[in-house]
Chains A and B, each alone.
Chain A
Amino acid sequence: EPEVTQTPSHQVTQMGQEVILRCVPISNHLYFYWYRQILGQKVEFLVSFYNNEISEKSEIFDDQFSVERPDGSNFTLKIRSTKLEDSAMYFCASSEAWTGQETQYFGPGTRLLVL
């Protein structure tokens, strides 16, 4: 069964540093997403991406965040200047389309720890 993969599985960084989280969505999917989950809290939507541009973003997704599809397979989330409160699990997801009925498939996540 095809799956979404994410690298790295864990990332430790110093406050103020830039991090790039990588995702390989399922190959025939057209919509890509990033979510995050702070320890013990809800899964929160960050951004959706389609046709090389952002479709929707949440209030969390401010100027320190950016997304990119640098090639035909990877989808990245960059956090420019990390803060302590960015420590969380970051999940990438993808779906074939978005009609309100499409399943989003999630990756295993990247655990980010900002010190």
Chain B
Amino acid sequence: LAKTTQPISMDSYEGQEVNITCSHNNIATNDYITWYQQFPSQGPRFIIQGYKTKVTNEVASLFIPADRKSSTLSLPRVSLSDTAVYYCLVLRGSARQLTFGSGTQLTVLP
């Protein structure tokens, strides 16, 4: 499985755009990139998934460069309620499991 590396923590202020970058140097051709969010004492929640270029939904955008060795989750205009751990995962089609790393603890300050 492709190993992912992302910052341990980030701080931001309300209303700012937050970009969290994840590196996955040994991503394989058929792998997808997925991001999950987890609040304390809750289950992880799917945010966004992509294969290449840019994906946008109502919550976030995901930017993936052509070499796919990294990806950036972009959260527009964060609020205090966006304080959570954000996980970058690489999904391999043959594996029926999600492999979570340590994630990035995002703290949004007033």
Measured CB to CB, the residues of A under 8 A from B are: 4, 31, 33, 35, 42-45, 48, 50, 55-56, 58, 89, 91, 93, 98-101, 103-109, 111
Contact = CB atoms under 8 A, between A and B. Distances in A.
A108 B45 CA distance: 10
Contacts of A100: 30-32, 91-95
A108 B30 contact: no
A4 B93 CA distance: 23
Given A101-B91, A103-B49, A108 B101 contact: no
Interface residues of B, number: 25
A101 B102 contact: no
Binding site secondary structure of chain A: strand
A109 B49 contact: no
Q: Which of B34, B44, B96, B98 has the most CB of A within 10 A?
A: B96
Contacts, number: 61
Given A109-B41, A111-B41, A33 B46 contact: no
Interface string B53-79: 000000000000000000000000000
Nearest to A54: B96
B104 to A, nearest CB: 13
15 contacts: A31-B96, A42-B100, A91-B43, A99-B93, A100-B31, A100-B92, A100-B94, A100-B95, A101-B91, A101-B93, A103-B34, A104-B46, A106-B45, A108-B43, A109-B41
B99 interface: yes
